[in-house]
Amino acid sequence: MAPIGVQSAYHEDGELGTARACADLGVPFSISTAASTTIEAVRGAVGEDAPLWFQLYWPVSDDITASLLGRAKAAGCKVLVVTLDTFTIAYRPRDLDNAFLPFVTGQGNDIGFSDPVARRLFAQATDGETPESQPLLASRWWMGQAASGHARPWEDLAILKRLWKGPIVLKGIQHPEDARLALRHGADGIVVSNHGGRQVDGAVASLDMLPEIVEAVGDQLTVLFDSGVRTAADAIKALSLGAKAVMIGRPVIFGLGIAGQKGARHVVAGLLADLDQTMGLAGVQNIQGLNRGTLRSAEGTAKL
Per-residue pLDDT of the chain (304 residues; tens, 9 = 90+): 999 999 999 999 999 999 999 999 999 999 999 999 999 999 999 999 999 999 999 999 999 999 999 999 999 999 999 999 988 888 888 888 998 889 888 899 999 999 999 999 999 999 999 999 999 999 999 999 998 888 899 999 999 999 999 999 999 999 999 999 999 999 999 999 999 888 888 889 999 999 999 999 989 999 999 999 999 999 999 999 999 999 999 999 999 999 999 999 999 999 999 999 999 999 999 999 999 999 988 776 666 6
Q: Is 99 strand, coil or helix?
A: coil
Q: Which of 237, 140, 142, 222 is nearest to 187 (CA)?
A: 222
- The pLDDT value given to residue 181: 98
Angstrom distance (rounded) from CA 269 to CA 247: 14
One-letter amino acid at 127 equals: D
Q: What is the dihedral of CA 169, 141, 249, 10, to 10 degrees?
A: 160
At CA 12, angle to CA 6 and CA 17, rounded to 5? 80
Task: List the chain domain ranges.
Answer: 1-166
Spatial distance between the Cα atoms of 66 and 135, rounded to a whole number of angstroms:
23
CA-based R_g, the chain, Å: 19
Confidence (pLDDT) at 89: 82
Name the residue among 33, 54, 55 with its Cα closest to residue 43.
Answer: 54
How many of the other CB atoms lie within 10 Å of CB of 252?
25
pLDDT on residue 92: 85
The pLDDT of residue 304 = 61
Query: How is the chain split among helix, strand and coil, in percent rounded to 5?
Result: 50, 10, 40
What is the per-residue pLDDT for 300? 65
Q: What is the pLDDT of residue 246?
A: 98
Active site residues: 195
pTM score of the predicted model: 0.95
Amino acid letter for position 71: R
Report long-range pairs for 272-275 (Cβ below 8 Å, ≥24 apart): 272/25, 272/27, 274/231, 274/232, 275/232, 275/235, 275/236
In single-letter form, the type of residue at position 123 comes to A
Residues 6+ apart with CB under 8 A from 159: 62, 65
* CATH number of 1-166, picked from 3.20.20.70, 3.40.640.10, 3.40.50.620, 1.10.3720.10: 3.20.20.70
3-state SS assignment for residue 27:
coil
Contact 248, 264 (CB under 8 A): no
